[in-house]
Amino acid sequence: MRVTVLVLLMLVTSCASASTPVVSGAFGSRPVIELPSQRPGGTPEISVLAEGRGPRTSPGDVVVTEVVIRGWSGDATPLNTYDAGRPLTVVFGRGDVPGIWERVLIGRRAGSRVMLVGPGRLAYGGAGAGQDDPLVLVFDILGGYPPDARLVGEELPRLAGPARSGTLIDGSGRQVGPGSTVVVQYVATRGPGREVVASSRADGGPRAFVLKEGAVPSEWVEGLVGKRVGSRVAVTRGSVVTVIDIIDLV
């Protein structure tokens, strides 16, 4: 699913307080954040900057989102997934993110842009200059997915034998192109005994990646470009075989 909002995203001045940042830019691109001179209070504020048209995220989902965190002083940016090419998978209920993030991300439509303004303790992973220093967080919500989302009613296979690449299941959804953002489940195994070295499900759920050099291994780009949503693909890198389910295209 690709939800595109190509309108200018900006808070209406008449509805904004003197301490409300102004955000502009297109959904899916790094937002431009203009800070007012007045600092915000200590109470977190949530603003929906643009309403998407995709499915709503539900309680129990993991949420895949682009996010940028900007400090109030200087140009500090503790987190920026837009430039990294790796949207964040937000898993609730295990203390990874502040509780208010659930209010920001659950019940929202894919394609929505939402802003959270508040003290530094709202940041992901404790990022921020201090617990009470103001931060601005802008989220572009790509979608919500069950933690065990997969193509078929079984676990991702752990391939036996020598490392090999290839398509295991052909999908029938939209075709993946260079630079596409894909949502995937994967399991990576290594060596003759196929020891599991990485698993998206074990880490909480689907992950999203931009298929470009530097964001993912080149083998992923070669193996996934041209495939369709619903495909299961094996890619190799040395002795590591990674089996990938293409869950969505955003």
- pLDDT tens sequence across 30-87: 999 999 888 888 889 999 999 999 999 999 999 999 999 998 877 788 889 999 999 9
Host H or E run for residue 218: helix 218-224
Residues 192 and 224 in one domain: yes
| Residues 85 and 198 placed together within one structural domain of the fold | no
Residue 153: inside a domain: no
Domain that holds residue 113: 20-145
Looking at the domain assignment, is residue 65 inside a domain? yes
- Residue 32 belongs to a domain: yes
Confirm whether 14 is domain-assigned: no
Give the number of domains in the chain. Answer: 2
Are residue 51 and residue 124 in the same domain, yes or no? Answer: yes
Query: Are 69 and 116 part of one and the same domain?
Result: yes
**pTM, entire model:** 0.84
For residue 1, tell me if it sits in a domain. Answer: no
Residue 153: pLDDT band with limits 50, 70, 90: low
Residue 35 covered by a domain: yes
Q: Are residues 141 and 24 in the same domain?
A: yes
Q: What is the pLDDT of residues 195-232, one digit of tens each?
A: 889 999 889 999 999 999 889 999 999 999 999 999 99
- The answer to whether position 242 is within a domain reads yes
Instruction: Based on the fold, state whether residues 175 and 129 are members of the same structural domain.
Output: no
Choosing from 113, 145, 177, the residue where a domain stops is 145
Is position 217 within any domain?
Answer: yes
- pLDDT at position 10 is 37
Q: Are 87 and 181 in contact (CB under 8 A)?
A: yes
CA distance 25 to 23: 7
**φ, ψ at 13 (rounded to 5°):** -60, -40
Same domain, 35 and 132: yes
- Asked whether residue 192 falls in the same domain as residue 100, the answer is no
The C-alpha atoms of residue 235 and residue 237 are separated, in whole angstroms, by: 7
CB neighbourhood size of 15 (10 A): 8
Same domain? 94 vs 133: yes
Give the CATH number of the domain where residue 43 resides: 3.10.50.40
